[in-house]
Amino acid sequence: MTEHATAPTTCQKTLPQSVYNIVPNTQIIMELRGVQNRIKTRYVGQERGRFFLLRMPPQSIQGNLYEHLYPGNAVVIRYILAGNIWGFATRVQGHIAHPHPLLFLDFPRQVESYNLRKEKRVECSFPVTCLIGGTDADAIMLDLSVLGCRITLPCTGSDPELGTQIGIDCSVFLANGPKRIVGTIRRISRVGANLELGIGFHEPAPEVTNKIRSYVDMVYGLLAN
């Protein structure tokens, strides 16, 4: 194993949660000092404050690639998560070839992001009631913008289809009954015993939209301080 460069022993409290929420096999784009082309690889794991672990890219990408994976060489990492491009500068710690080729990087001290969405989106944990195909289901809203949200609910064995209309009652925004939020299912994924649904809103009642926007702006303001 290549000798490791000194890694940070602590991580800053200001690091965004996205650094910890990134899931294995997420595509990573690397820019390595001394290598002209951007390099694609996959995220493997991390230990907070100590290292960030990637799959070793194949040397066939560029013949002299491995010559530049020496401890201390500068790397810029970028990846997409939850509608944002996240990026940070770091350094190579070292790499191993066996039993699996892995690349160790210093854990990031600072992460920057660029929002790909048209509207700001924030994480949340609001209880909601969903109406899908005439059936009510309890769910949790996981994130939210004025254009849509992500919810999780237990699998029932009869998954909804993409494009299905869904109603969402959320008392936090007084969105109930006639003012229920109506949307379309844009994304479906299974997470353990639950379904996660990405919802694109139709046009909620103006007062509901205003409450959502005020909440999102308030959260962004708190995070900025």
- Given a cut of 50, whether residue 139 has pLDDT beyond it is yes
Structure tokens at 209: 């939209």
Residue 156 confidence (pLDDT) above 50: yes
At 13, the pLDDT band (50, 70, 90 cuts) reads very low
Burial class (CB in 10 A: 0-12, 13-18, 19+), 31: middle
- Please provide the CATH number assigned to the domain covering 18-115: 2.30.110.10
Q: What is the pLDDT of residue 162?
A: 85
Alpha-carbon gap, residue 151 to 164, rounded angstroms: 14
8: three-class secondary structure by DSSP: coil
Domain residue spans of the chain: 18-115, 122-224
Residue 21, CA atoms < 13 Å, CB-side half-sphere: 11
What pLDDT is attached to residue 1? 37
Q: Cα(205)–Cα(200) distance, rounded to whole angstroms?
A: 15
Supply the pLDDT for residue 61: 62
CATH class (in words) of the domain with range 122-224: mainly beta
Q: How confident is the model at residue 123 (pLDDT cuts 50, 70, 90)?
A: confident
Short-list 207, 183, 211, CA closest to 197: 183
Write the pLDDT tens digit of every residue in 185-205: 988 888 878 889 989 998 888
What is the mean pLDDT of the segment spanning 131-137? Answer: 87
DSSP 220: H
How many residues would you count in the chain?
225
- For residue 5, pLDDT over 70 is answered with no
SS3 content of the chain, % helix, strand, coil (to 5): 15, 45, 40
| 66 against 140, higher pLDDT | 140
Question: In terms of C-beta density within 10 A (0-12 exposed, 13-18 middle, 19 or more buried), how is residue 130 classed?
Answer: buried
Are the C-beta atoms of 70 and 103 separated by less than 8 Å?
no
Q: What pLDDT band is residue 216 in, cutting at 50, 70 and 90?
A: confident
Average pLDDT over every residue of 19-38: 86
Amino acid at 46: Q
| In the predicted structure, residue 138 carries a pLDDT above the cut 90 | yes
Radius of gyration (C-alpha) of the chain in whole angstroms? 21
Query: What stretches of 48-155 adopt beta strand conformation (E)?
Result: 51-55, 74-81, 84-96, 102-106, 112-115, 122-132, 135-144, 148-154
Residue owning tokens 């190579």: 92
- Mean pLDDT, rounded, for 98-109: 93
Average pLDDT, the chain: 83
Question: In percent, how much of the chain has pLDDT > 70?
Answer: 84
